[in-house]
Structure 1
């Protein structure tokens, strides 16, 4: 019996040991040298960390090929004392390890499709909520561990394709609308799988569009509609309407009319240059009739008359609303660029942010079939436009873009990571698109050898997030004020009606008497009224 127990323990130990040394994100052949094994092996768990935090730190150390002790040493010497206080040390250390590991993993172009990456990123959020041994796990949904909005907001933007600091809380709300504002792993995993699918579809569409639409360098196909016969897109110009295929890029709309078995040459509707473009929802119908609220209107100084794109569907107008949102996002991104007179790299970074936002919006829409409201939009520039003080968000973003540095983070190795984050930023959105396989040749080498410095900083709240929170907090006061104004308007209308009734009282009384005579309820009075009226007319 004792021999059997020893054999079972030995088998369990060997299986655990094999699992612990398995590389999480490498598809190359593993090295069996003792030197590499010793590089990533950790001396043991860190006593101050919780079980989940130790698990995350251990996996991060293997990704970075350094020991957990070395990671802790780097944290102690590179970051200021303000983020190493007793109450926040463990949480900030988890952030430090997570940010570096995510930066390394995201260099793999296919990381979104890796289930181990999705599991690790979720575990990072769990570890953020319970970083030390004293912390208890947060609330559960269906007896499973879940995460809250703050953990999501601190970890998710570290991978720019997953979230943006401007819309991260709206994204969390969209993901947790049916789970008591707690994020379950199955939902997070479904979102990332949908995002991976959207990225791959966009890459495939880009290859076809370059030849069919003759796209310029740097143009990225964001979505295509109308290619499926059951979901047509109709273009209305004047009294005529014609089905076709609608394509949106980060610079323009393209519509190719359906001919005899093929599409005609697409007409380009510019969104980039200042042509006084107007894009808004509109009613359309046969022969110019305004019947169906399912269209997007495009007008500019470059077209003779407005063009309407109708998205027919049996119920609702979700297709139209989606296309309206993504077209406005690109249009507003270009307006933001022109207003601030950005240089080429800053322009590309702004457009890359808009592109990633549309990819996220598509992923949420296709995975969960939800549509965002005005103040809950998942598109950064639309959100800034809709919030009462959204200009604060854009001003903060502009100041952040002024710190943009390409390649600067690699020259001064004596600077700490925290100092680099203070002084300069990397074009993280451009680099993310490049890692996903989208960027042009001019931008493909921007991240070569560069230590990426993103929007988020260990232990500190991002200025963009502060600006968003301030704008959202003002939204409640604006809505309350608007409700008061609307009530005053209603009360004013009631008062005016009362005054008019009083002024017209005698006329109303005469009209009632005439109506009474005309009804012949009292024949004698009606006869006398008729005779008097006839006499007046004859005279």
Structure 2
């Protein structure tokens, strides 16, 4: 431990020494440019493959690492594969190597997110990444007006997991960047890191001063959020008709609620998010006397709770407070589900939980700086986002494989090239003093970013993000075609179903023999198809016809917009007419349900032989219907069935069909319905 403290003190002293000298110029590289321009081969090393800005950054990294630029370049040339040293990508890959190694050292200082020099250098690394080679366009003078793009942020920010992770990095950039330019300014980036520093300090303070220490100390749980301590912003727990205000606490393992008494808090209730209890967490509506009026609550349900627990987060307008708590509770719940599914333990489990904890810290920082702008909280949390993205299960599978592969590095004693990988999430939290210090031989050493390569996780996230954009575009078209009014929607549906309706009408006219010649021709052709056993080929031909039709339509309409469906709008209806139309539709649905119940009750009566005469007839009919299935080939059975149904209204059979239809109707109406007895439960005193 003494050795660790000595190393930390040396690093902090280093930050105040040459590191301070190298980073003290916050707004420009002018002096360093001038020195390099005066003597490229002099005291300061100049790497000809790099741009001026990249040379400055590599020079700063060499000072942080306390090695010469020559030595760091030799190390890269020895560790890197031949693919990474190709001239076309050499400059950028070497720059990433230097940045990753420097970041691994810089992040060992506990307060590095608060250090303005750390903020400036990491931002300048992104600027240099955009123009790394000598063939790049001339580098702009560095100032607070410079901005960086998404690609640079995606490569440098996740190298320090406190700033971003691969899965949510793009969404974090979208929140921080200027919407009009799509680029990130230093002012926004610095404000974000300031919020991160405050979030880290708040978590450390809450964890150290929490009154739940006796309950949570066994697992060393970290307190992530506390709410309900202010009388103006209570948290209300609803169980049945009982409602209690209190304090709600979320850790990286559990949810705690302490009901408020007159002066003190009641005994703590624990809802363990890490256990396999078939837990459900979802938004819920609340209101006085059990009414469902206010969308400001979270419902928690598990096999360990006899009835659902509802946590309400009252606020005057909106439900952002509830949405925030819903997202962070689910993040911890989903993280533990992932841990149980993959069956990971030990340091790998801590690494997974560290990813979830860092995500919540980043969300708190963004919530602080964007308090007046609506933010989709779930899009900024790794496990929430993986639950929603197309292919999110593949993202988590890839993440699991990466965690397992890192475990193998420790098991077989091998190590990846130290400078080729970014630092891990657990190492970051350990360096920040949030978790107890972990020995270097037990700590997960490497992160998710590799120099010059897209890891499998980056690839699957990129593909999922592309698919998600396609889903959003498709959903935008869905939202654009929605119309108001039940009459208008029925008109649109009728127009869309016009081909189906017309096909049904045509078959109905053929079956009713309105045109005897066409009906006879159809009957003969279809009978011939059945006799020859060609029904399967008919269905195959229909499917092929649809495929060819779609292919030709696609070829013909290539590059053209989709033709809009033209619908004749019905006469406009006022609010009262709309209500009457809805009431009429509900009445029709009710009548259909009643008729359906009558049919089911009559069938029940037949099965139970309540009307004996009618039941006898049904028994005989069922036996007679079963005999052809046994005695006749399937082909002949289908033919007889088709002819029986299709020739009912042919001129020779029409009189007998009408006669038997009438007798069947009379027989059906004569069947009594099985009785129904409605039993109503007594009023439950706990019913809301």
**TM range, smaller chain:** 0.7 to 0.9
**Structure 1 residues 449 and 349: CA distance shift in structure 2, 3 A:** closer
SS in 1 for 2:338: helix
Q: Which residue of 1 aligns with 2:493?
A: 494
Q: 1: CA distance between counterparts of 2:471 and 2:172?
A: 23
Q: Report the Cα offset of residue 129 of structure 1.
A: 0.6
Q: Report the Cα offset of residue 244 of structure 1.
A: 1.1
Q: Which of these residues, 373, 376, 383, is aligned with residue 373 of structure 1?
A: 376
Instruction: Answer with 1 or 2: which has the greater Rg.
Output: 2
Q: 2: CA distance between counterparts of 1:407 and 1:396?
A: 17
Q: Which residue of 2 aligns with 1:317?
A: 319
Q: Which residue of 1 aligns with 2:84?
A: 83
SS in 1 for 2:248: strand
Q: Which residue of 1 aligns with 2:457?
A: 464
Q: Report the Cα offset of residue 411 of structure 1.
A: 5.5
Q: 2: CA distance between counterparts of 1:431 and 1:20?
A: 22
TM-score scaled by length of structure 2: 0.61
Q: Which residue of 2 aligns with 1:269?
A: 271
SS in 1 for 2:406: coil
Tell whether 2:388 aligns with 1:386. yes
Q: Report the Cα offset of residue 295 of structure 1.
A: 0.6
SS in 1 for 2:267: coil
Q: Which residue of 2 aligns with 1:51?
A: 52
Q: Report the Cα offset of residue 229 of structure 1.
A: 2.1
CA contact (8 A) 1:456 1:462 kept: yes
Tell whether 2:122 aligns with 1:121. yes
Residues 290-330 of structure 1: CA deviation (Å, up to 9, x unaligned): 11111111111111211111111111111100000011111
CA contact (8 A) 1:387 1:472 kept: yes
CA contact (8 A) 1:213 1:266 kept: no
Q: Report the Cα offset of residue 455 of structure 1.
A: 1.2
Q: 2: CA distance between counterparts of 1:238 and 1:76?
A: 68
**Structure 1 residues 384 and 312: CA distance shift in structure 2, 3 A:** same
Q: Which of these residues, 428, 431, 441, is aligned with residue 432 of structure 1?
A: 428
Q: Which residue of 1 aligns with 2:599?
A: none
CA contact (8 A) 1:348 1:430 kept: yes
**Structure 1 residues 138 and 60: CA distance shift in structure 2, 3 A:** closer
Q: 2: CA distance between counterparts of 1:452 and 1:336?
A: 21
Q: 2: CA distance between counterparts of 1:280 and 1:302?
A: 17
Range moving further from structure 2, 203-212 or 219-228: 203-212
Residues 182-203 of structure 1: CA deviation (Å, up to 9, x unaligned): 0000110000010010000000
CA contact (8 A) 2:301 2:309 kept: yes
CA contact (8 A) 2:348 2:407 kept: no
Residues 139-163 of structure 1: CA deviation (Å, up to 9, x unaligned): 9999921100000010011111111
Where in structure 2 are the equivalents of 1:120-199 lying within 5 Å? 120-136=121-137, 144-178=145-179, 180-199=181-200
Aligned residue pairs total 458
Q: Which of these residues, 434, 438, 444, is aligned with residue 445 of structure 1?
A: 438
Range moving further from structure 2, 73-82 or 129-138: 129-138
Q: 1: CA distance between counterparts of 2:435 and 2:143?
A: 42
SS in 2 for 1:293: strand
CA contact (8 A) 1:43 1:69 kept: no
Q: 2: CA distance between counterparts of 1:325 and 1:137?
A: 44
SS in 2 for 1:246: strand
**Structure 1 residues 449 and 394: CA distance shift in structure 2, 3 A:** closer
CA contact (8 A) 2:50 2:133 kept: yes
**Structure 1 residues 372 and 21: CA distance shift in structure 2, 3 A:** closer
CA contact (8 A) 1:42 1:58 kept: no
Range moving further from structure 2, 224-233 or 147-156: 224-233
SS in 1 for 2:453: coil
Q: 1: CA distance between counterparts of 2:276 and 2:183?
A: 43
CA contact (8 A) 1:278 1:300 kept: yes
Q: Which of these residues, 252, 255, 262, is aligned with residue 253 of structure 1?
A: 255
SS in 1 for 2:226: strand
**Structure 1 residues 141 and 121: CA distance shift in structure 2, 3 A:** closer
Q: Report the Cα offset of residue 352 of structure 1.
A: 1.1
Q: Which residue of 2 aligns with 1:298?
A: 300
Q: Which of these residues, 372, 396, 413, is aligned with residue 398 of structure 2?
A: 396
Q: Which residue of 1 aligns with 2:667?
A: none
Q: CA RMSD in A?
A: 3.3
Q: Report the Cα offset of residue 436 of structure 1.
A: 1.4
Q: Report the Cα offset of residue 345 of structure 1.
A: 2.4
Range moving further from structure 2, 248-257 or 224-233: 224-233
CA contact (8 A) 2:49 2:91 kept: yes
Q: Report the Cα offset of residue 83 of structure 1.
A: 1.2
**Structure 1 residues 79 and 224: CA distance shift in structure 2, 3 A:** same
Q: Report the Cα offset of residue 238 of structure 1.
A: 1.3
**Structure 1 residues 481 and 54: CA distance shift in structure 2, 3 A:** closer
**Structure 1 residues 197 and 409: CA distance shift in structure 2, 3 A:** farther
CA contact (8 A) 1:340 1:398 kept: yes
Q: Which of these residues, 354, 360, 363, is aligned with residue 362 of structure 2?
A: 360
CA contact (8 A) 1:254 1:267 kept: yes
Q: Which residue of 2 aligns with 1:283?
A: 285
Q: 2: CA distance between counterparts of 1:140 and 1:308?
A: 56
Range moving further from structure 2, 134-143 or 44-53: 134-143
Residues 470-490 of structure 1: CA deviation (Å, up to 9, x unaligned): 112222444566678887995
Q: Report the Cα offset of residue 399 of structure 1.
A: 0.6
CA contact (8 A) 1:60 1:98 kept: yes
Q: Report the Cα offset of residue 223 of structure 1.
A: 0.7
**Structure 1 residues 109 and 22: CA distance shift in structure 2, 3 A:** same
Residues 258-283 of structure 1: CA deviation (Å, up to 9, x unaligned): 22232222211111111111100111
Q: Report the Cα offset of residue 286 of structure 1.
A: 2.3
Q: Report the Cα offset of residue 371 of structure 1.
A: 4.2
Q: 1: CA distance between counterparts of 2:144 and 2:383?
A: 38
CA contact (8 A) 1:141 1:179 kept: no
Q: 1: CA distance between counterparts of 2:237 and 2:259?
A: 8
Q: 2: CA distance between counterparts of 1:140 and 1:494?
A: 61
Where in structure 2 are the equivalents of 1:339-358 lying within 5 Å? 339-358=341-360
CA contact (8 A) 2:144 2:187 kept: no
CA contact (8 A) 2:347 2:443 kept: no
**Structure 1 residues 101 and 305: CA distance shift in structure 2, 3 A:** same
Q: Report the Cα offset of residue 452 of structure 1.
A: 3.1
Q: Report the Cα offset of residue 171 of structure 1.
A: 0.9
